[in-house]
């Protein structure tokens, strides 16, 4: 059985100082700076850390929505909040995300809340971004009808 291989591209252009613009094949560019905790950081721009957390959120959402669609479950609304803890690792003293805590609030069509809850494990398992990190990703699913 052949395995699919996916490939993605992005470009980065340094803007001077600690600023850059990232883009990918005609998509809207995104300004990137360090988070406000670091020199040159900005409250207004996306940081790599914020983009990482947003990637986990959006990937989990897309996985959940796909599993629901495959099972005939209509998702009426979906929102999530995430917080990640970045700390120095004991083994190599490098900073890395250790834990990511995400809360998902989803509403599904009547009579499907339990079936949707049963799909959350698959949604977590099939998120490519979560699978690509060593951080522990914890998701608190709150699914209602």
The predicted-structure confidence for 109-127, as pLDDT tens digits, reads as follows 999 999 999 999 999 999 9
- Per-residue pLDDT tens digits for 11-33: 999 999 999 999 999 899 999 99
Judge if 19 and 67 occupy the same domain.
no
Distance CA 115, CA 127 (A): 19
Q: Where are the beta strands (DSSP E) in 8-90?
A: 11-16, 19-23, 30-32, 75-88
Judge if 34 and 59 occupy the same domain.
no
Distance CA 122, CA 120 (A): 5
Judge if 19 and 79 occupy the same domain.
no
Whole-model pTM? 0.93
Judge if 64 and 32 occupy the same domain.
no
pLDDT in tens, the chain (145 residues): 789 999 999 999 999 999 999 999 989 999 999 999 999 999 999 999 999 999 999 999 999 999 999 999 999 999 999 999 999 999 999 999 999 999 999 999 999 999 999 999 999 999 999 999 999 999 999 999 9
Which of 46, 65, 80 is the C-terminal boundary of a domain? 46
């Amino acid at each position: 059985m052949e395995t699919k291989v996916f490939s993605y591209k992005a470009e980065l252009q340094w803007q001077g100082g600690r600023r850059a613009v990232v883009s990918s094949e005609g998509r809207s560019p995104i300004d990137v700076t360090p988070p406000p905790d670091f020199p040159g950081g900005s409250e207004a721009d996306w940081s790599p850390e914020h983009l990482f957390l947003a990637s986990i959120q959006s990937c989990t959402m897309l996985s959940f929505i796909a599993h629901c669609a495959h099972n005939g479950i209509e998702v009426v609304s979906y929102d999530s909040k995430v917080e990640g803890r970045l700390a120095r690792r004991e083994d190599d003293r490098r900073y890395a995300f250790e834990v990511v805590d995400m809360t998902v609030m989803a509403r599904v069509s009547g009579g499907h809340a339990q079936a949707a809850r049963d799909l959350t494990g698959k949604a977590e398992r099939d998120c490519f971004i979560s699978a690509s990190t060593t951080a522990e990703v914890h998701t608190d699913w709150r699914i209602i009808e």
